Each structure stands twice: as structure tokens, then as C-alpha cells.
Structure 1
Amino acid sequence: MFTGIIQSIGKIQPQGNDRFQVSLVPSADPAILSDIALGDSIAVDGVCLTVETILARGFVATASPETLARTTLGRSSETGGSVNLEASLRVGSKIGGHFVTGHVDGVGCLQETVQTDRAWELVFSPVPTLKSEWDRHIARYLVSKGSITVNGISLTVAACDSHWFKVAVIPVTYKETNLHTLSVGDWVNLEGDILGKYVERFVGHSPKTENDPTEISLTFLAQHGYG
């Protein structure tokens, strides 16, 4: 489990079809590696990977076929660039963003970047060849003022419809993550809010029993303080 608050920046290099070496960039804070151990989980651009080999300033991990198919890690053109890094959440740690699992739902691409007086506004949309993936796994969890994870970064949806969403990024987040390296058309990993997924699951099922005939519906949730 993660929170979407980026701790460092690294570079990723393929070491075969499914293995990757992640190394901190020279200017990166090495604190994230201070107590790294074999088997630890680290989010790499929002993808939860398990440390298999520890290096002086990085680690090696293997990605499963599902991870390669669902994320930017499986796109050869996307490797070699900078990646956002976050160590897994420890019991008692602050939750500065929102609950992030590191299980990416799919990819999107940057459509527009606009600098305003106080923020950077970024618009993301489906990768044209993967629109069906967006419709199945991304669009259903887009909610205005809800949470979204972009390359492992916890962000708030400023505006959206089923075909795009906009986030407003404060200058420090834009500068200290790989968002500032993105160009229009670049792909990003996206993960919807896990709380929204559970609500969807509950609403989609009606667990009626003889002792408790209550149906969990949108009306039921609204009556009990949700929404």
C-alpha cells in the first residue's frame, strides 16, 4: 500500500523482457534506499514492484505479464526515462495523499499542459489504440474532485468526462516529479481510487437475506451519509 506522495526520482532500464533496473538519479534523495530489504515493495511510476536485487543506488525487479500488459513498463519506448519512486506505507506513517495499491488500471496519454499563475493544469485522455481499455478500467472511476493516481502521484480530478480528465498540479509537485518531463502524447500509468472500486462493487450486488433484506444501492448509501 502506498499514498501517492513521491519520495525520489529514478531512471529505469530494461534487463531483459521482464526485469528492470531502477537507479536513483544523481540529484535524488537516497533516503528511500536507506533501509531497503529484499522483498520490499516500491512503487515505480505507480507500479508496485518487489525488490529482488539491491544495488548501491537502486534495485532490480521483475514485472509480471499482467503488469507489462497493463502499464508503461511493457512499452519499450517508455523505458530509459525518469520514474517516480515511493516506498510502501508503514504502519503509523502519515497518509498525505490517498490509498494507492500500486496495481495500475491502465494507461492514458498527456493531451495538454497549461501553466497558470498558481499551478500547472494537465489534461489526460485515452491512448487512441487503447480506448476500449480506458472505457473498461479508467473512465468509470473518474469523479470530479475525486482522487486519481498518475505515474504514482496522488492527484485530485479538477474536471472530467468519460473521455478525458484534468488535474491541477502545484509547482512543487510538478518540479519534484516526472510530470515536468512529459510531452504531449506521452503515456502515463493510471490507477483509480480503490474506495470507488469497493463502492461500485457493493452497489453492483444486492446481498439480500431472510434476516437482512436491505439492498445496497445509491439511494441506500445516500440515506446513510455517503455522497
Structure 2
Amino acid sequence: MFTGLIQALGTIHPLGEDQLQIACSDPKILQDLAIGDSVAVDGICLTVTTILSNGFTAAVSPETLDRTSLGYMEGNAHINLEPSLRVGSKLGGHFVTGHIDGIGYLEESVSTANAWEMSFTVPDARVSRYIVPKGSIAINGISLTVADCNATGTWFKVAVIPLTYAETNLRFLQPGGRVNLEGDVLGKYVEKFLRLGSNSTESVVSELEDMIASNGSDSITPSFLTEHGYL
């Protein structure tokens, strides 16, 4: 579990098809790092496999390469880093799992008096379904708030404060550049509960219809209604 508050920048160096080397000398990342720990690398939860003097290595799966920007990165690309949340740590940002939903693309980045207004396109429905006005979203692991979006979530805008822009890899992003997106996990649970609730209702209605067809309306007893939450 992460918060979306980036702790440091690093650079990435592919080591074959299933290993990455992450270079970072920042003590906020390295001081307590151990083999088996989780680190968010551009928002992707990866497991540390080796500790190095100036960073660490991590394993990547074909699924991770397919769903995230890692499969498109070149050597020495800048990446955002955040160690996993520890018990007793301050809670800022929002709950970020490090499980990327899909990729988005920078449309434009405009400097204003107080922020960088960045807009993105989201062709992947696995992501766009969770984008709502004023909702939380993780962009390359950065906890941000959706300032505006269209009805389908295939386009949205965020306002990035100067501090976040300066200390993350958003400042290197060019129009058309890929970003990793993770929707708010709370929205995913709400969606599932609503879907299960709908299916449950349809099941009860079907059972009621079958009972009436077989035994008449007298078969709908108070005990049946109580059992299914109607009394």
C-alpha cells in the first residue's frame, strides 16, 4: 500500500526481459530497504530482488510490461519512487495499491500562475470508468485530484502544484507521452458491491416468479420475505 506522495526520483535500466535495475541514491528510499520489500516505481508495485550500493533490482512480469509504461521505457528514463507505507507513517494523498489499471497519454501541459494544468486522454476503459470529477487518481504513482473530465472519463485534467511538478517526472513529460494510471480503489469496491447487489436482486425476483408460477402467490410467506431482506 502506498499514498501517492513521491519520495524520490530514480532512473531505470532494463536487465533483460524480466528484471529492472533502479538507480537512486536518496536515503529516503535506500536506508531501510530490504530484499522482498515493495516499492512503487512510477506507480507500479514492484518487489525488490537485490540491494545495490546505488539502488536496487526488481522483477517484472509479462502482465506488468503489457499494462504499464515499463515496456516502452528506454534506459536512464526518470521514474518516481515511493517505498511502501509503514505502520505509524503519516497518511497523505490517498490509498494507492500500485496495481496499474492502464496507460494514459499527455494531451497538453499549460503553466498558470499557481499550477501546471495537465490534460490526459484515456483510451482504456479499464481506467476511464473510474475517473470522476474531484475524484482521486494516481498518475505515475502521484496522488492527484481530477479537476475536470468528460462524461466517459476518456479525457481529464489535473492541476499540479509547482512543488509536485518540480520533484516528480511530470516535468519531463511531453505531449503524447505515456503515464501509468490507477483509479481510486474505493470506486472499484463500490462498483463491485453495486454489481453484486444488482445480481442478487435479479436472483430474488427470478425465485419469486418461479414460486408464484409453481405454487401461486400464497407461497410468498412472511418468512420468505424476511429471509431475503424485505421485512
Rg larger in structure: 2
- 1:94 Cα offset (Å): 1.1
Paired with 1:80 and 1:67, the residues of 2 have a C-alpha distance of 19
**Which of 201, 213, 224 is equivalent to 2:229?**
213
Partner of 1:22: 22
Partner of 2:109: 113
How many residues align? The count is 203
Note the 1:26-175 alignment, pairs <5 A. Answer: 29-75=26-72, 77-126=73-122, 131=123, 134-135=124-125, 137-161=126-150, 162=152, 163-175=154-166
Paired with 1:78 and 1:103, the residues of 2 have a C-alpha distance of 22
| Residue deviations 1:72-120 (CA, integer Å, cap 9, x gap) | 1112x45531000000001121111000000000001100000110000
List alignment gaps of at least 5 residues for structure 2. 205-225
SS of 2:165's partner is helix
* Paired-residue identity, %: 59
Cα pair 1:111 1:125 within 8 Å, conserved: yes
**TM-score calculated relative to the size of structure 2:** 0.84
Alpha-carbon RMSD = 1.5
**TM-score calculated relative to the size of structure 1:** 0.86
- 1:212 Cα offset (Å): 4.8
- 1:211 Cα offset (Å): 3.1
| Aligned CA distance change for structure 1 residues 192 and 37 (closer, same or farther; 3 Å) | same
Partner of 2:10: 10
Higher helix share: 2
Partner of 1:220: none
Paired with 2:46 and 2:157, the residues of 1 have a C-alpha distance of 27
List alignment gaps of at least 5 residues for structure 1. 215-227
1:94 alignment partner AA: K
SS of 1:173's partner is helix
- 1:31 Cα offset (Å): 2.0
